[in-house]
Amino acid sequence: MDHEIFTLAQIVGQALQTQQKKLVTAESCTGGWISQALTDVPGSSLWFDRGFVTYSNAAKIQMLGVNPLTLELYGAVSAETVSEMVTGALIHSDADFALAVTGIAGPSGGTEQKPVGTIFVAWTSKLNGYKVLQENLSGDRQEIRRQTVVIALKGLADSIKA
């Protein structure tokens, strides 16, 4: 178990439990790693509603309501897509807070405009608008995915406490 990720997941859980709120996740490049980290925390059923792993474009459209035109115009790895993912996750759940991630973990799939390591993370809640962060990470596939989980959980903890 990754100690840093577990600690971040505990912090998120404590913040949600204190506020008596629930969380939903929508993951692409992390493939459910964030949901796994959150559900590794004992008692997570009190604050974790559900997780969507929407790896394909079809899943993003069917499960989260991402507009096919958004995917066509901006691609799956974009601020526009992750914004629709996080909004769709909140709409299609019983949660108060939502987190979404999409990115290119590699080793292939990158372009000049969006190289391997490009990720987008979005957070939102029923009370606040959404926030989107773009990062350009380095490392192998596993390290890029791990860094994405850490960035997502840190941002989530901050957005819950705000």
Q: What is the pLDDT of residues 78-115, one digit of tens each?
A: 999 999 999 999 999 999 999 999 999 999 999 999 99
Per-residue pLDDT of the chain (162 residues; tens, 9 = 90+): 799 999 999 999 999 999 999 999 999 999 999 999 999 999 999 999 999 999 999 999 999 999 999 999 999 999 999 999 999 999 999 999 999 999 999 999 999 999 999 999 999 999 888 899 999 999 999 999 999 999 999 999 999 987
Give the pair of three-digit tokens for residue 141: 């596939």
pTM (2 d.p.): 0.97
**pLDDT score for 160:** 92
Containing structural domain, residue 14: 3-161
pLDDT of residue 44: 98
Three-class DSSP labels, 45-66: HHCEEEEEECCCHHHHHHHHCC
Residue 73 burial class via C-beta count within 10 angstroms: exposed 0-12, middle 13-18, buried 19 and up? exposed
User: Quick one: pLDDT at residue 1?
Assistant: 73
Per-residue pLDDT, 25: 98
Residue 155 structure tokens: 């941002």
pLDDT of residue 128: 83
Domain with residue 55: its CATH number is: 3.90.950.20
Q: What is the C-alpha separation between 27 and 60, in angstroms, rounded?
A: 10
> What is the model's pLDDT at position 39?
98
| The two three-digit tokens of residue 96, written as one number | 């108060």
> What total number of domains does the chain contain?
1
